A = this chain, B = another copy of it.
Amino acid sequence: MIPRYEHPAIAGIWSEKSKLEKWQEVELAVINARTWTHEVDAQIFSTIKSTLESNPADITWWKEEEKKTRHDLQAWVSERVRHLPIELRPYFHDGMTSYDTEETAFLMMLKESAGYVCEACGKMELALSTLAVKYRYCPMMGVTHGQHAEVQSFGKRCLTWYQEISTAKQKVSDAFSTLNKSRLSGAIGNYGGVNPTIEEQALGELGFRPFYGATQILPRQLFVPLASALATLVSVISKIAIDIRLGARSPRPIYQEPFGKNQTGSSAMPHKKNTILCEQLEGMERMALGFLMMIMQNIKTWEERAIEQSSVERIAWPDLFHVAMRSLTSCTKVIEGLRVYPDNMILDIVDSKGTWAAGEAKKFLRPYLAVFGVTTEDVYRIVQLASFNVFEPSVSARNIREMPPTSFEVIDDWVFKAVNDFGPSDWESIKQIIERGELEVADNLANTKEQVDEWNAALKKFFHFSSPALLEWQEIFLVKNRLEDEGTLFQKILGC
């Protein structure tokens, strides 16, 4: 994972250092297990353990050795045994094949990482339930197919998000149960080096039970439920992010991502409050799906094993965890800092013009109008017609619909007439604020009162004294001027 999206705890777990420590834990557990069956003297075990623990692995030495042998675990065994007295060396990695050591260590890394994911899910659940409770009675339009449907509380929408996270978290946590078995059963899985008793004892010490019937490696299907649960979690977060993006749209956001006081919206467009965190969460989903595909394909290997899966697991697993953690922390931050606009939610209800009760209205009218000979089907059509009626455009709006402008020159007159005919009485704009020097301090920007006053003074002076500039300034707010270069596009693309 590139540093930009890395989660430090995940990076730690999947570091070389952490991996070597876990390899050592496995090796020591096997030697320790052999003290129980008296294959190895307890004193020997404690000497090995203390010697190795006081001599952490030298990663540079190990890497050099690996270049020679092209085998990372063998190289590490060499690194380790060089710290031991010659007579104790044979006890280390005795009768084991590489994957006896690596497999369990790998499982430990997966479980540790998944633990962080569950914890982060918990934080997101808390943020969502807090929001749900706060807005339990705050009405908004429920939306299906992008259309205002029926009225609901915003708290209820938060609950549906909460249940998505909660369900996904449960699946991550269930996936643990598939990961509580490991193996130490040798090169082809029939106990060529370590016998079943030692396996059970050593794994038990590390928190695992034996999986019976492995080859040199555990079946790769055992890892699929975790990968699938993580990809599901990231997809679910992406769904929540889309709902936030949809609610944050111009011209009437019902909520918005938190926006830092010094944050820059866009290099060209200083007025933007972009939903960049939420959009990025969709990027995370695309990656999670890709990583899941990689891991799914690992199920297939040849006979008692081949090593196709190894490179994939070194890359896809940590990256999938980074993506999951990024999604969780980023979305939790958005939820915790979400700016909610109940006033705009009300305007949506107003604008839906009672259709939010259309279903109930239909149900109500049915028995009563039956008396007047109106059928059930007709009641449906009555309510539908009323709904069409309320949204019927005015005559002037309808005229505008049917007559789009036909040249650059007429655009602004057309707009002006339209606004006059059916638009709002007052057309407020940054044009007026700036040309009149009427800027005011804004809560969520870091400007001081003094600075704003100074700016206003400069603006007033400038526009007052420079009437040619004022004319030029007004040109800026002519729509036609903004569209002029589109001519190139029409000409290059359609030749007209």
Contact = CB atoms under 8 A, between A and B. Distances in A.
A366 B350 CA distance: 42
Interface stretch (A39-47, A107-115, A210-218): A210-218
Nearest to A265: B384
A267 B77 contact: yes
A250 B312 contact: no
B196 A485 contact: yes
A50 interface: no
A235 B350 contact: no
A153 B335 CA distance: 35
Contacts of A98: 266-268
Q: Which of A143, A243, A299, A349 has the most CB of B within 10 A?
A: A299
Interface string A417-443: 011001110011111111000111110
A40 B258 CA distance: 40
Residue from A359, A373, A493 with most neighbouring chain B CB atoms (10 Å): A359
Contacts of A358: 269-271, 430
B137 A250 contact: no
Contacts of A302: 143, 145-146, 242-243, 245-246
Interface string A183-200: 000111111110110000
Nearest to A73: B267
Contacts of A439: 382, 385-386, 389
B385 A452 contact: yes
Contacts of A245: 146, 302, 306
A103 to B, nearest CB: 13
A83 interface: no
Nearest to A485: B191
Interface string A332-363: 00000000111100111111111111111111
Determine which residue in A138, A149, A424 has the highest number of CB atoms from chain B within 10 A of its CB, and name it. Answer: A149
Contact of A430 (B69, B387, B481): B387
Contacts of A368: 462, 466, 469
Contacts of A195: 485
B70 A260 contact: yes
A451 to B, nearest CB: 8
B348 A144 contact: no
Contacts of A301: 239
A438 B388 CA distance: 12
B363 A458 contact: no
A221 B236 contact: yes
Contact of A228 (B164, B228, B300, B360): B228
Given A250-B351, A368-B466, A152 B384 contact: no
Contact of A476 (B268, B292, B357, B476): B357
Interface centre among A186, A231, A308 (most CB of B within 10 A): A308
Interface string A45-59: 000000000000000
A310 to B, nearest CB: 6
A359 B192 contact: yes
Contact of A483 (B153, B225, B343): B153
Nearest to A427: B350
A190 B365 CA distance: 21
A9 interface: no
A142 B433 contact: no
Contact of A270 (B214, B352, B384): B384
A95 to B, nearest CB: 6
A23 interface: no
Interface string A231-265: 11001101100110110111110000000101111
A390 B432 CA distance: 10
B310 A283 contact: yes
A455 B268 contact: no
B228 A224 contact: yes
Interface string A290-309: 11111011111111111111
A386 B189 contact: no
Interface in A122-136: 129, 132-136
The 6 closest A-B pairs by CB, nearest first: A354-B429, A271-B387, A163-B213, A142-B188, A191-B485, A145-B274
11 contacts: A152-B304, A157-B304, A159-B494, A163-B214, A231-B296, A236-B299, A242-B302, A287-B294, A342-B400, A343-B398, A385-B440
